[in-house]
């Protein structure tokens, strides 16, 4: 495993990290073993944005007796209310949710205290003026949080965070689909000379963010590196062509400022697959040839199963419904395995009341209500 400096934090993080997003979907013992297996393989950074008590308990049990090995990203403003995730700035919710981390992770400190998911100007103003940000700073001053970070999908908000001076690292969505404008004639030149000032082909705000992070020594840990797995399938990829995990990982790790890509894992085999990047050849890592010959693409409207659409008033697991819909429509006929997994969901697309609250929270402007209708028609419920 290779390790990289995380900006100016002084921390050394594995370039392949652990995104703990779906740990609670498995049996506790199985997930605890998975986290421990990752540690044995040299992975030492884990993101725990999930407020679900089961997920936090799993990570806490997995780290027990080995806390110093792990660098933990824990989020201010990710709360658990009435059995659902809610992004909140109300201190009556924020403080207990953050204290819950310490209890369930069985620790007295958090390495990276993340200001959770700011994508809009309004949320920036709510978060950066008042009790919320004062609480973040107090936890830092008291040593409960060792470094302050921020998570966002919006490069403009990320740039503002870097310019505060107190945000030492970012959790940011990085993949070829999010970064690139439609392919142009000089796309290969752009990739080969990425450090040049003329970064044609890259969204200007993202190019500016990467340069600023490099300049200010603000480290980046990467989320959404695989676009929810869509980049692996030509039919689902916004490019119209498939990437390999090694190509996606290499793309993320070659952005200025990036220290680690946090991959999601369901099995030990998936951990091994991500870690195979460490021994991959340059030809296996080459994403440039894929991008150079790809059709036009758009990142908007693509569900990455991130879960920020929650909470749902009908308690629908929107991310999983979308995932099963995408898996089903990628085939000529709906696979029985996908159908059975969908039917096992407690709440299904047919339960959607079309309120569109989820659409207002989606960072990628997915038309969730339309997809729920299509899913209900496809599966019959």
CATH number of the domain within which 283 lies: 3.20.20.100
CB atoms within 10 A of CB 369: 17
Looking at the fold, whether 230 and 330 belong to one and the same domain comes out as no
82/18 same-domain check: yes
Residues 336, 227, single domain; the answer is no
Domain-embedded: residue 309:
no
Residue 64 and residue 174 share a domain: yes
Q: Which pLDDT band holds residue 188 (cuts at 50, 70, 90)?
A: very low
Helix (H, G, I), strand (E, B) or coil at 211: helix
What does the pLDDT look like over 113-155, one tens digit per residue? Answer: 999 999 889 999 999 999 999 999 999 999 999 999 999 988 9
Say yes or no: 130 and 268 in one domain.
yes
Element (H, E) at 115: strand 110-115
d(CA 211, CA 240): 29
Does the pLDDT at position 249 exceed 50?
A: yes
Res 295: pLDDT:
61
228, 151: one domain: yes
**Tokens 């959770």, located at residue:** 116
- Model confidence at 198, pLDDT cuts 50, 70, 90, reads very low
What is the arithmetic mean of pLDDT over 321-337? 83
Same domain for 195 and 150: yes
- Same domain (yes/no): 197, 333: no
Q: What is the pLDDT of residue 302?
A: 74
Average pLDDT over residues 98-110: 97
Shared domain for 115 and 233, answered yes or no, is yes
Cross-strand partners of 115 = 76, 150
* pLDDT (mean) for 62-80: 97
Give how many domains the chain has, as a whole number: 2
- pLDDT score, position 179: 82
Give the model confidence (pLDDT) of 269-323 as tens digits.
999 999 999 999 988 998 877 776 666 555 567 777 777 788 899 999 998 898 8
pLDDT at residue 173 is higher than 80: yes
- pLDDT per residue over 31-65, tens digit each? 999 999 999 999 999 999 999 999 999 999 999 99
What pLDDT sits at residue 182?
A: 36
Give the pLDDT score at 374: 96
Closest CA to 53 of 73, 86, 79, 88: 79
User: Which of these three, 275, 292, 309, is where a domain ends?
Assistant: 292
Percent of the chain with pLDDT over 70: 92
Q: Are 255 and 220 in contact (CB under 8 A)?
A: yes
Whether the per-residue pLDDT at 185 is higher than 80: the answer is no
For the segment 149-166, the average pLDDT, to the nearest whole number, is 95
Cα–Cα distances (Å) from 38 to 59, 77, 123, 283, 309, in that order, read 12, 27, 35, 26, 29
Q: Give every CB contact of residue 280 below 8 A, 6+ residues apart in sequence.
A: 246, 250
Residue 289 pLDDT? 75
Residues 137 and 198 in one domain: yes
Q: State the chain's mean pLDDT as an integer.
A: 88
Q: Is residue 307 part of a domain?
A: no
pLDDT higher at 327 or 244: 244
Residue at which a domain ends, from 274, 292, 310: 292
| Domain of 249, in residue numbers | 3-292
Has residue 210 been placed in a domain?
A: yes
Q: Are 216 and 153 in contact (CB under 8 A)?
A: no
Q: Is residue 303 part of a domain?
A: no
How far is 358 from 52, CA to CA, in rounded Å?
19
What is the structure's pLDDT at 363? 76
Residue 227 lies in a domain: yes
> Closest by alpha carbon to 28, among 52, 5, 61?
61
308 in a structural domain? no
All residues at 6 or more sequence positions from 187 whose CB lies less than 8 Å from its CB, including other chains: 180, 201, 291, 292
Q: What is the pLDDT of residue 298?
A: 54
One domain for residues 154 and 227: yes
DSSP labels, 265-313: -SSHHHHHHHHGGGG--HHHH--HHHHHT------TT-----STT---T
Contact 234, 242 (CB under 8 A): yes
Q: Is residue 312 part of a domain?
A: no
For the cut 90, the answer to whether the pLDDT of residue 260 exceeds it is yes
> Both tokens of residue 132?
């919320």
Provide the percentage of residues in the chain whose pLDDT is more than 90: 64
Asked whether residue 313 is domain-assigned, the answer is no
At 235 the pLDDT is 80
Same domain as 342, residue 287: no
């Amino acid at each position: 495993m290779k390790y990289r400096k995380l900006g100016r934090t002084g921390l050394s993080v594995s370039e392949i990290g652990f995104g703990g997003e779906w740990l609670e979907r498995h049996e506790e013992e199985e997930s605890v073993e998975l986290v421990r297996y990752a540690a044995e393989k040299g992975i030492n950074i884990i993101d725990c944005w999930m407020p679900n008590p089961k997920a936090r308990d799993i990570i806490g049990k997995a780290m027990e007796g080995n806390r110093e090995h792990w660098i933990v990203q824990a989020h201010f403003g990710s709360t658990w209310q009435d059995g659902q995730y809610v992004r909140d700035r109300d201190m009556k919710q924020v403080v207990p949710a953050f204290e819950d981390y310490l209890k369930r992770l069985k620790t007295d400190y958090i390495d990276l205290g993340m200001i959770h998911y700011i994508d809009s100007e309004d949320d920036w103003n709510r978060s950066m003026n008042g009790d919320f940000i004062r609480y973040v700073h107090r936890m830092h001053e008291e040593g409960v949080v060792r470094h302050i970070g921020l998570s966002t999908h919006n490069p403009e908000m990320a740039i503002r965070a870097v310019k505060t001076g107190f945000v030492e690292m970012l959790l940011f969505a990085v993949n070829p689909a999010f970064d690139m404008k439609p392919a142009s004639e000089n796309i290969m030149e752009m990739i080969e000379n990425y450090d040049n000032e003329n970064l044609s082909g890259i969204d200007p705000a993202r190019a500016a963010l990467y340069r600023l992070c490099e300049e200010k020594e603000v480290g980046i840990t990467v989320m959404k590196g695989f676009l929810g797995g869509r980049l692996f399938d030509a039919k689902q990829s916004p490019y119209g062509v498939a990437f390999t995990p090694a190509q996606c990982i290499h793309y993320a790790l070659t952005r200025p400022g990036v220290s680690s890509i946090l991959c999601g894992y369901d099995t030990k085999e998936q951990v091994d697959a991500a870690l195979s990047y460490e021994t991959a050849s340059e030809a296996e890592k080459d994403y440039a040839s894929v991008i150079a010959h790809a059709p036009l693409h758009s990142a908007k409207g693509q569900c990455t199963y991130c879960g920020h659409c929650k909470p749902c008033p009908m308690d629908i697991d929107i991310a999983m419904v979308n995932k099963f819909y995408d898996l089903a429509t990628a085939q000529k006929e709906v696979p029985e395995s996908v159908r059975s997994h969908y039917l096992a969901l407690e709440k299904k697309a047919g339960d959607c009341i079309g309120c569109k609250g989820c659409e207002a929270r989606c960072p990628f402007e997915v038309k969730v209500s339309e997809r729920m209708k299509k899913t209900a028609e496809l599966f019959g419920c």
